[in-house]
Structures are given as structure tokens and as C-alpha cells.
């Protein structure tokens, strides 16, 4: 009977360490062990650890001192042998790992797996401020990784200041605002309200890092504490990475759960999983107001689960920046204005954004929610790099109607790679129109550089910076300049420069 091989979540655990006592702080491995032990306890099954044959760890930004993170975790748990895996970088990794583990369980390649991740980035920041070197940060290792290990951005993008998330996601936000024909003022209010809806959930979550439930006005008003980082995002809208958090999930099959005596009320089925990438580099995307890869990942997960989006009761949509849950809500058909909860944790700016492992916390929180409302369906979406790698999972406490079997994802991915997109040119001269843009601010909140993605008269695309002109920065941040006419030419430093020439 196929149900015997059906993959299920049987244990979940998470922890948040807010202590300001540096001597008492735990390293990422200790945090991860604590989360795993909570997940083991959550299964209510004695002797379960002895059956674990795979330990799978999400890439740790604060874990470069570990040569074999999964092996080190297994040793702390007293596991003698079995598979040890460590993922590539990407916020999609936890859900991607859950999907892959479900594949392996259904195929009989794995019996019982521990999925875990942790970050101690708040501890690292605290130690740096105090001039303390932590023992677990000594040395630098590059463990073997599973998943797509490509770097997320291209050197052609770096020279224009488009390399870090806070420099790139605003380009999507501005493009989305223009596509939906919203004024900058109206859109700023919208993303402030979306952010406040996340903050309200975080206020009620004991594991959230920030629980003050900031209002839309507090989030949207630029102040010394809430400086503008990159237009249109002030600090309070951006993922909070300096946190100490860990989460773990235990997965097995129905047959193994029965063998181990895991109570039925612990079981949460994975009904469907989707994984897809957008065209890899920012400069090569089809456009900046949509995500074909995200749409495909949702389509795969819902299609495998054989349910429409309207059947989903609760979601956690990845929220590193406001544009991400807006994209996902639009694909799902949910309101993207914050009127319906988009998170079960509080989102990355308020719950916390522990490196690549946030979505593991989302899975844990969703499983706990579904157990309290049996019969419902929930969905987790996750993404990595710059709206690049996408993973989606559909979960429920009722058994799926058919065996776990995913479609040919390689063929589907090839359809995205074949999408027509504008040719990119590194150096350009001539008339151009703004496709999207942002203004970068320094740590004091002062604007210092504009990034423009522009389309030349012949349809080709190029990147450019603006002159350091305060009047131009003011105009870019207060006017709708997507589609505005300008002129691009190479500067003395080899970078393209963009100037407005009128509508």
C-alpha cells in the first residue's frame, strides 16, 4: 500500500537565544543540537534516535569553523553512522531539503532523517563589538555541499553596487510598484502595512526576536533608528540577520512512524513540493515585476498535492523584503496588502532571518499550527539569493490521496531557461529608458548612489549608476521614473552613467 511509504514530519523543534551574556552564549552547533533534541522529544517516541540514518544540515553563515557540520551534529547526538549532508547557500534550502528528503523517503533510500540548521550571528556581532575571538570561529572550512552552489550575482552587477540583497531587492520592488501603477507614496504605505502585518504575528510568537508589534507608521517613517537603507526600504522592512536561532525537523515514513510508535497526532504529511530557479543572474531576467521560477515552484507543489490555491488555509511566505511575499501572494491568489496573514512566525524582519535557515522555523511553526487545527492545509514558500532559487511545500494532517511522486522538474526548468529576455550589454552609449532603479544610502542614511537598469532604444538592457546628485536622488525617490527617458554613456571608471533627459 502506497501510504506505508508516504513521507511525514513527526517531530519539530526550535529555539531562540536572546541572552546578552557572551560567556553563556551557545555556538551554532550547540543551538542546533538543542533544537534537534526538542524535535526528538516532540515525536513522543522512545528509541527513535537509534533509527536515524541521515543527518541533513542547512548551510550556516556563522559556521565556517566547522569542517563537517552534519557530522559534528551527528556526533553530538551520539549517532555512529549514516548519511551526512550539508546544503548550498540559499534561503530556499530548508524547504528544498524537505522536498528532497520526501523523495528519498518515498523511494526507500532513507529511513529516518534529521533536518536542522542554526545561526549565532548575534553572538558573532556581540563578540566583534567587545573584541573577543570565539573559539568556534577559528579556521575556515569549505564542506562538500548538495544543491546548486553557483554564486548568486555576476561581476557585471557588482561594479554597479548590485551585489547584496539590500541593493538588489529594491529593484524588484520599484518595478512591481510601477507595473501595478501605484504612486510611490501609495506603495510606501502598502509595504508599510504589509510589514506591520508581519510584526503583529511576531508580537505573539515567543520565539520571535522582535516582539514590539511595530505599526505601519513606525515601520514606514524614516528616523535615525529606522534609516533608509536602499529606496524604498528603511531598516525596519529588511530581514534581521543578527539573531541566534535554530530549528529542526524529523521526517520519516508512515510505516516507520508506526513501527516506532509515534502518536498519530504528531504526523504532518508533505502533500506536494516544488523547486525551481529563475534565470540565474539579475541582468538576464525576463523582467523585474514577476518571477517565473516562483510561479513554477508553486504550480509544482499545488499540482502534486492536487489542490487549488483556494484550499490552502495558512501560509508562511518568505519575507526577506516586502516584495517577496507580494510576489508569492500574487502567485497564490491571496491579497498582498497584509489583510490576510502571510506568515506563521512573524517574518524575517521581526521573527528573525537566521541566514539560510528561516524556512525551517516556518516549517516547524506551520506543523505546530496544523496539529491544532486537524484537516487544514498549509504552505511554506522559500527563496534563495535574489529571487533566484525557489522552494514550496504543501503540508497537512490528513493523508494525501496519492503516493508522493514529483514531476520531471528538469524539463519544466528548461522551459524557464528558454524564456525570451532582453540581451545584456556591458558598455552602452545612447538614449535609454528606465526599467527599474534604486537609491543606495550610507549608514548615516544619506543617499550616495543610484542604480539604474535601463533599456536602450533597440531593446537591449544595461546597468548604470547615476551621478551623485542630491536633487536627482530626491527626484528618484519621490517620482515615478520607471519608463523615464535618459541617456547612457561610459564614465571614466568604465561604468555606465545614466542621466535623465526628460519624459
3-class SS letters over 127-166: HHHHCCCCHHHCCCCCCCCECCCCCCCCHHHHCCCCCCHH
The total number of structural domains that make up the chain: 3
Rounded to an integer, what distance in angstroms lies between the CA atom of residue 196 and that of residue 350?
10
| Per-residue pLDDT band at 502 (split at 50, 70, 90) | low
Whether 424 is in a domain gets the answer no
Whether 9 is in a domain gets the answer yes
**180 and 301 both lie in a single domain:** no
Which residues lie closer than 8 Å to 131 by C-beta, 6 or more apart? Answer: none
DSSP state of 422: P
**110 and 144 both lie in a single domain:** yes
**393 and 490 both lie in a single domain:** no
pLDDT beyond 70 at 2:
no
Of 184, 209, 237, the one marking the end of a domain is 237
pLDDT tens digit sequence for 295-345: 999 999 999 999 999 999 999 999 999 999 999 999 999 998 888 999 999
Provide the percentage of residues in the chain whose pLDDT is more than 90.
92
Q: How much is the pTM? A: 0.97
Of 207, 222, 237, the one marking the end of a domain is 237
Q: Cell for 502? A: 526628460
**70 and 193 both lie in a single domain:** no
**116 and 64 both lie in a single domain:** yes
CATH number where 376 lies: 3.40.47.10
**332 and 346 both lie in a single domain:** yes
Whether 418 is in a domain gets the answer no
Residue whose C-alpha is closest to residue 172's, from 474, 453, 436, 468: 436
Mean pLDDT (the chain) is 96
Average pLDDT over every residue of 55-77:
94
**92 and 132 both lie in a single domain:** yes
Whether 343 is in a domain gets the answer yes
**232 and 248 both lie in a single domain:** no
Helix (H, G, I), strand (E, B) or coil at 78: coil
Helix (H, G, I), strand (E, B) or coil at 475: helix
Provide the percentage of residues in the chain whose pLDDT is more than 70.
99
Rounded to an integer, what distance in angstroms lies between the CA atom of residue 215 and that of residue 192?
8
Q: Cell for 496? A: 555606465
pLDDT tens digit sequence for 212-271: 999 999 999 999 999 999 999 999 999 999 999 999 999 999 999 999 999 999 999 999
DSSP state of 46: T
**187 and 227 both lie in a single domain:** yes
Whether 422 is in a domain gets the answer no
Average pLDDT over every residue of 428-436:
97
pLDDT beyond 60 at 12:
yes
**373 and 386 both lie in a single domain:** yes
**42 and 136 both lie in a single domain:** yes
Higher pLDDT among residues 81 and 363, named by residue: 363
Rounded to an integer, what distance in angstroms lies between the CA atom of residue 378 and that of residue 122?
30
Of 237, 256, 291, the one marking the end of a domain is 237
Which residues lie closer than 8 Å to 321 by C-beta, 6 or more apart? Answer: 165, 166, 169, 170, 172, 173, 233, 237, 238, 239
Whether 229 is in a domain gets the answer yes
Rounded to an integer, what distance in angstroms lies between the CA atom of residue 315 and that of residue 327?
14
Average pLDDT over every residue of 130-148:
90
Whether 494 is in a domain gets the answer yes
**46 and 93 both lie in a single domain:** yes
The beta strand positions in 148-240, using DSSP E, are: 228-230, 233-234
| Structural domain boundaries, residue 304 | 2-151+241-413
Amino acid at each position: 500500500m502506497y501510504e506505508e511509504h508516504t513521507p511525514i514530519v513527526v517531530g519539530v523543534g526550535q529555539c531562540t537565544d536572546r541572552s546578552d551574556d557572551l560567556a553563556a552564549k551557545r555556538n551554532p552547533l550547540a543551538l542546533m543540537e538543542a533544537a534537534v533534541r526538542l524535535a526528538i522529544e516532540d515525536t513522543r517516541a522512545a528509541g527513535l534516535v537509534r533509527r536515524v540514518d541521515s543527518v541533513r544540515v542547512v548551510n550556516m553563515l556563522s559556521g565556517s569553523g566547522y569542517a563537517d557540520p552534519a557530522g559534528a551534529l551527528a556526533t553530538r547526538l551520539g549517532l555512529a553512522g549514516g548519511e551526512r549532508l550539508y546544503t548550498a547557500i540559499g534561503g530556499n534550502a530548508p524547504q528544498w531539503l524537505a522536498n528532497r528528503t520526501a523523495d528519498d523517503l518515498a523511494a526507500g533510500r532513507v529511513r529516518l532523517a534529521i533536518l536542522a540548521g542554526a545561526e549565532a550571528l548575534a553572538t558573532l556581532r556581540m563578540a566583534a563589538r567587545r573584541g573577543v575571538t570565539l573559539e568556534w570561529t577559528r579556521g575556515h572550512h569549505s564542506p562538500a555541499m548538495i544543491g546548486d552552489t553557483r554564486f548568486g550575482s555576476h561581476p557585471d552587477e557588482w561594479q554597479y553596487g548590485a551585489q547584496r540583497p539590500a541593493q538588489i531587492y529594491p529593484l524588484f520592488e520599484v518595478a512591481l510598484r510601477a507595473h501595478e501603477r501605484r504612486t510611490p507614496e501609495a506603495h510606501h504605505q502598502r509595504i508599510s502595512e504589509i510589514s506591520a502585518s508581519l510584526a503583529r504575528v511576531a508580537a505573539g510568537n515567543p520565539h520571535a526576536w522582535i516582539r514590539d508589534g511595530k505599526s505601519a507608521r513606525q515601520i514606514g517613517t524614516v528616523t535615525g533608528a529606522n534609516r533608509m537603507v536602499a529606496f524604498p526600504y528603511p531598516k525596519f522592512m529588511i530581514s534581521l540577520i543578527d539573531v541566534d536561532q535554530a530549528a529542526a525537523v524529523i521526517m520519516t515514513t508512515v510505516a516507520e512512524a508506526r513501527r516506532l510508535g509515534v502518536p498519530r497526532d504528531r504526523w504532518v504529511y508533505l502533500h506536494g513540493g516544488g523547486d525551481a530557479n529563475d534565470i540565474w543572474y539579475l541582468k538576464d531576467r525576463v523582467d523585474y515585476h514577476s518571477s517565473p521560477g516562483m510561479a513554477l515552484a508553486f504550480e509544482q507543489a499545488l499540482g502534486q498535492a492536487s489542490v487549488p490555491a483556494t484550499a490552502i488555509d495558512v501560509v508562511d511566505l518568505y519575507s526577506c523584503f516586502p516584495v517577496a511575499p507580494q510576489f508569492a501572494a500574487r502567485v497564490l491568489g491571496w491579497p498582498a496588502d497584509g489583510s490576510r496573514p502571510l506568515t506563521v512566525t512573524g517574518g524575517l524582519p521581526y521573527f528573525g532571518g537566521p541566514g539560510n535557515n528561516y524556512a525551517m522555523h516556518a516549517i516547524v511553526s506551520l506543523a505546530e499550527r496544523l496539529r491544532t487545527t486537524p484537516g487544514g492545509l498549509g504552505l511554506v514558500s522559500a527563496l534563495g539569493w535574489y529571487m533566484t532559487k525557489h522552494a514550496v511545500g504543501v503540508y497537512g494532517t490528513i493523508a494525501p490521496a496519492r503516493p508522493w511522486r514529483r514531476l520531471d522538474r528538469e524539463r519544466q526548468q528548461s522551459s524557464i531557461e528558454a524564456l525570451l529576455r532582453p540581451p545584456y550589454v556591458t558598455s552602452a552609449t545612447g538614449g535609454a529608458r528606465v526599467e527599474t532603479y534604486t537609491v543606495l544610502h550610507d549608514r548615516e542614511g544619506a543617499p550616495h548612489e543610484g542604480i539604474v537598469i535601463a533599456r536602450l532604444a533597440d531593446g537591449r538592457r544595461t546597468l548604470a549608476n547615476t551621478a551623485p546628485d542630491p536633487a536627482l536622488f530626491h527626484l528618484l525617490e519621490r517620482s515615478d521614473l520607471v519608463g523615464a527617458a535618459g541617456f547612457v554613456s561610459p564614465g571614466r571608471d568604465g561604468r555606465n552613467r545614466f542621466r535623465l533627459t526628460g519624459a
